[in-house]
């Protein structure tokens, strides 16, 4: 039997995109030699301004960075991209490794055209209307002709959070509460700025923000992390999965760490240049926490019975698992009826290119299994 052919279009070649392409190359070699082989064909590569596409002819994994850099083909608008990809004769998966709102808003159209989506982006799952349109168009909910969509890395990077919650809910358990640290950036910032005793010396908050950006943990614009909205987007996704009907990430209490005076700072670079002026304000949080025998951390909470979602700074005793997190680790405690008072806990790196790309690659595998 000839191998089954599946086409892949990768949008976004930054930190996550680059790691994904490398994992895709490894996966395609493995699947090509499997007992029932599949040819995973990379047919389109795009970044913000330019793309590589040659009428569905497979692109080479070798030297793609320089080939893409020298391309003169502009990246089409998301709706033109959907029309282009819908001409594929073989099943096609669009992998969105951008944080483009415009592309995210086009997911319902993309799915309606039978194109599958694997994504690390949270942007499509914020507004209730787009969320509902995605549910209506996707094959996950049995809609004939629609594409499948998976987005494990949109919450906790590659950590199996969405998969686990789907398993709990689909097998009839009821989630009552979800709590924890949902941002790799926030985790890194507070673990670096106010480590627990014995875990090193704290660094100024602004220096930690710069380091988180250099390590690839932050959103393309780190203000999207510091304003709490990245955590709010993740909680919006989780809340909807467990039956709390959230309107949007701005419809509940979200504590921003952006100083008032910098709310209208122009570019991300200007913002980062002025941030050290406000290190004193963050130091005050540290001093208060220390006086109470604890450390300050940024957490998220969903209370299903109360229908309440919150993102805020809280003080934790130094022996609390949230206080003792390391690096960019997330910790997510899921309370359910079956698990009772002892929650199911998921912990590990919640940001970083490789671990995020792993979740996206696993989503591609989920789609391949669903297509069987």
Ligand X SMILES: NC(=O)C1=CN([C@@H]2O[C@H](COP(=O)(O)OP(=O)(O)OC[C@H]3O[C@@H](n4cnc5c(N)ncnc54)[C@H](OP(=O)(O)O)[C@@H]3O)[C@@H](O)[C@H]2O)C=CC1
Ligand Y SMILES: N[C@@H](CC=O)C(=O)O
Question: Taking a C-beta distance cutoff of 8 angstroms, is the pair 86, 114 a contact?
Answer: yes
Tokens for 60?
């080479």
Q: Does 97 bind ligand Y (CB under 6 A)?
A: no
Q: Which does 159 bind (CB under 5 to 8 A by kind): ligand X, Na ion, ligand Y, none?
A: Na ion
Which lies closer to ligand X via its Cβ, residue 122 or residue 366? 122
Q: Which of 7, 8, 12, 117 touches ligand X by CB under 6 A?
A: 12
Q: Does 218 bind ligand Y (CB under 6 A)?
A: yes
Active site residue 234: yes
Which lies closer to ligand X via its Cβ, residue 66 or residue 144? 66
Alpha-carbon gap, residue 258 to 273, rounded angstroms: 13
Which lies closer to Na ion via its Cβ, residue 157 or residue 295? 157
Q: Which of 120, 124, 226, 367 touches ligand X by CB under 6 A?
A: 120
Going by C-alpha positions, the residue among 90, 4, 102 that lies closest to residue 44 is: 90
Q: Does 38 bind ligand Y (CB under 6 A)?
A: no
Among the options 113, 123, 234, 301, which is catalytic?
Answer: 234
Which lies closer to ligand Y via its Cβ, residue 7 or residue 99? 99
Among the listed ranges 129-137, 214-222, 269-277, 307-315, the one in contact with ligand X (CB under 6 A) is 214-222
2: Cβ contacts below 8 Å, ≥ 6 apart: none
Question: Which SS3 state, helix, strand or coil, does residue 196 take?
Answer: coil
How many binding residues for ligand X (CB under 6 A)?
32
E runs forming strands in the chain: 4-11, 38-46, 51-53, 92-96, 116-119, 149-150, 175-181, 253-254, 294-303, 308-317, 329-336, 344-349
Q: Does 184 bind ligand X (CB under 6 A)?
A: yes
Tokens for 250?
């701005």
Q: Which does 185 bind (CB under 5 to 8 A by kind): Na ion, ligand Y, ligand X, none?
A: ligand Y
Is 171 annotated as a binding-site member? no
Which lies closer to ligand X via its Cβ, residue 102 or residue 167? 102
Minimum separation from the CB atom of position 121 to ligand Y (A) = 9
Q: Which does 183 bind (CB under 5 to 8 A by kind): ligand Y, Na ion, ligand X, none?
A: ligand Y
- The arrangement of strands across the sheet holding 329-336 comes to 253-254, 308-317, 294-303, 175-181, 329-336, 344-349
Q: Does 235 bind ligand Y (CB under 6 A)?
A: no
Bridge-partner residues for 302, per DSSP? Answer: 178, 309
Question: Taking a C-beta distance cutoff of 8 angstroms, is the pair 92, 115 a contact?
Answer: yes
In this structure, which long-range contacts are made by residues 217-221, counting pairs with CB atoms below 8 Å and at least 24 apart in sequence? 217/184, 217/185, 217/188, 217/328, 217/351, 217/352, 218/185, 218/351, 219/99, 219/185, 220/14, 220/99, 220/268, 221/268
Is 14 annotated as a binding-site member? yes
Q: Does 47 bind ligand X (CB under 6 A)?
A: yes
Going by the annotation, the residues of the binding site for NADPH are 98, 122
Active site residues: 234
Contact footprint for ligand X (CB under 6 A)? 11-17, 46-49, 75, 97-100, 102-103, 120-122, 153, 157, 184, 216-217, 219-220, 351-353, 356
Going by the annotation, the residues of the binding site are 12-17, 98, 122, 219
């Amino acid at each position: 039997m000839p191998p089954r052919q599946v086409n892949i279009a990768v949008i976004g070649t930054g930190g996550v995109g680059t790691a994904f392409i490398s994992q895709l190359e490894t996966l395609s070699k493995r699947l090509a030699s499997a007992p029932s082989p599949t040819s995973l064909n990379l047919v389109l590569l795009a970044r913000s301004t330019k793309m590589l596409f040659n009428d569905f002819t497979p692109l080479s994994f070798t030297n793609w960075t320089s080939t893409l850099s020298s391309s003169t083909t502009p990246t089409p608008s998301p709706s033109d991209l959907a029309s282009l990809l819908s001409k594929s004769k073989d099943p096609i998966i669009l992998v969105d490794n951008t944080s483009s709102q415009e592309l995210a808003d086009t997911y319902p159209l993309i799915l309606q055209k039978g194109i599958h989506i694997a994504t690390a982006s949270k942007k499509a799952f914020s507004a209730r209307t787009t969320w509902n349109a995605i549910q209506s168009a996707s094959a996950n909910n049995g809609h004939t002709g629609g594409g499948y969509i998976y987005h494990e890395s949109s919450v906790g990077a590659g950590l199996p959070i969405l998969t686990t919650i789907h398993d709990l809910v689909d097998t009839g358990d009821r989630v009552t509460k979800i709590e924890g640290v949902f941002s790799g950036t926030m985790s890194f910032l507070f673990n670096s700025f106010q480590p627990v005793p014995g875990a090193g010396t704290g660094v100024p908050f602004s220096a930690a923000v710069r380091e988180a950006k250099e390590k690839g943990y932050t959103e393309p614009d780190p203000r999207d992390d510091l304003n709490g909205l990245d955590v709010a987007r993740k909680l919006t996704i989780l809340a909807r999965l467990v039956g709390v009907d959230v309107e949007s990430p701005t419809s509940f209490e979200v504590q921003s760490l952006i100083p008032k005076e910098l709310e209208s700072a122009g570019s991300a670079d200007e913002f980062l240049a002025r941030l050290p002026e406000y290190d004193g304000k963050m130091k005050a949080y540290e001093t208060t926490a220390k006086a109470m025998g604890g450390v300050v951390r940024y957490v998220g909470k969903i209370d299903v019975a109360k229908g309440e979602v919150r993102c805020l700074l809280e003080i934790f005793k130094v022996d609390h698992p949230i206080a003792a997190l390391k690096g960019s680790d997330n910790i997510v405690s899921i309370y359910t009826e079956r698990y009772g008072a002892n929650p199911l806990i998921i912990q590990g790196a919640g940001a970083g290119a490789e671990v995020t790309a792993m979740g996206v690659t696993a989503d591609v595998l989920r789609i391949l299994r669903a297509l069987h």
